[in-house]
Structures are given as C-alpha cells and as structure tokens.
A and B are shown apart, each in its own frame.
Chain A
Amino acid sequence: QVQLVESGGGVVQPGRSLRLSCAASGFTFNSYGVHWVRQAPGKGLEWVAVISYDGSNKYYAESVKGRFTISRDNSKNTLYLQMNSLRTEDTAVYYCAREPQVVVLLYYFDYWGQGSLVTVSS
C-alpha cells in the first residue's frame, strides 16, 4: 500500500535551517510528482512546493520562495524540503502529498503523509 512518512521536524530558532524528509513506499516513486503542504496550528492548509517526477521542475509558493528548496532522490524513494532562514510564521505541520497520476502535475493529492511538526521559536 502507498505510504508517505515524514521525518526531521523539531524546534528550531528563527533564522536557522532544518531539512525535512519524506520516505515513500508502495508505489513507483520516480513516476509521480510530489508536494509539500503545511498547516499552522489551528489554521488551514497552505501549499508550499512541488517537484516533478524526475526532479526537473520545481515550483514554490511566494511565501517560501528563495528560502525553501524541494528536492528528491529517486534512488532512495525520498523527498526533501530544505528550509533556510526560518521564521516564526513557518511554524506548522508539514505534509508530503502525492500527485494522483504519473508524470503530469494536476495539483491535487491522492495520498498524504501523517505530517511532521516544525516549531520556529527562540
């Protein structure tokens, strides 16, 4: 069965960096685009970034552009989110989520991970 498992969250000071990982299993990881979506405590969902199946295309929300980098290692079936210059407003549960069809980007998600909490606080 399809599984997405995030890790790497924790408490970090403003201005510091953190890298999240999302380990995928149960499907052909190198055929699907994958996204990061976040949810601040008690708030709604916010799209963060997407990477195409082969890593050749990457797109970001304006709120994280220039600070966050999405990447993937298809040999390890793993998605990453490198977060630099973190701000208090980046505090959220970060979910990885899979596109529903191979190759194309349709910008909706059929499988989600359980989420990883990132807290930015001094």
Chain B
Amino acid sequence: QSALTQPPSASGSPGQSVTISCTGTSSDVGGYRYVSWYQQHPGKAPKLMIYEVSERPSGVPDRFSGSKSGNTASLTVSGLQAEDEADYYCSSYAGGNNLVFGGGTKLTVL
C-alpha cells in the first residue's frame, strides 16, 4: 500500500491561514470517511486533530478544520499561532484492515 501524498512543507505568518493537502486514491481517501490528521511536535507523540474527515476532538481549537474532495483530503489551520508549528500527518483507512499514512508536512510559522 503506497503512502498518501503530502507536501513536505507549508508555511504562513501568524494570523494567516494555511491548507495542507493529502492525496490518495479511490481505495483509501476517496473510498472512506476514515481520514484523520495528527499533529506532532519534535520528540513528542502524535496528537489527533481531525477524525472522520472533518470532526474535531474535544479540546482541539476550532482553528483546525478538515475536508475532502474526491481522493484529496485537506487540513486548514486558520489564525496561525506560533504553537501550530509542527509536523502534520494524514491517515486513511485503506480497506482490507489496512491503514496508510501520508509522508508528513512540516508547518512553519514565519
């Protein structure tokens, strides 16, 4: 199973919005609603930010939102803050009891 495709880097200034894409196929992202996004700060465990394409766990700021169109999912961070600087990973259920992750995107707050 191939990894999902994410841009290696993204950036924005404080207060701006940035969108990170996650491209798969009809066998994973396009075929299921089980797309999730994780935030990972250096040396830390990942943290769930979005699940089931666009749902936000309690405690995650509403500045974080998710969407999907066809085989591409997106994470948008609005009102960028310094603490949003981290690596972001998407994941998708890929059928056959298999899960696939994206390669990760390093978000820099300028």
Contact = CB atoms under 8 A, between A and B. Distances in A.
A44 B45 contact: no
Nearest to B94: A107
Contacts of B1: 61-62
B101 A47 contact: yes
A20 interface: no
Contacts of B98: 47, 59, 61
Main secondary structure of the interface of A (DSSP, over half): loop
B30 interface: no
Contact of B48 (A50, A95, A108, A114): A108
Interface in B27-69: 34, 36, 38, 45-48, 51-52, 57
A11 interface: no
A13 to B, nearest CB: 27
B12 interface: no
Interface string A64-102: 000000000000000000000000000000010000100
B10 interface: no
Nearest to A50: B97
A4 B36 CA distance: 20
Nearest to A44: B104
17 contacts: A35-B99, A44-B3, A44-B103, A45-B38, A45-B46, A45-B89, A47-B98, A59-B98, A95-B46, A100-B48, A100-B51, A106-B52, A107-B34, A107-B93, A107-B99, A108-B51, A108-B91
Interface of B: 1, 3, 34, 36, 38, 45-48, 51-52, 57, 89, 91, 93, 97-104
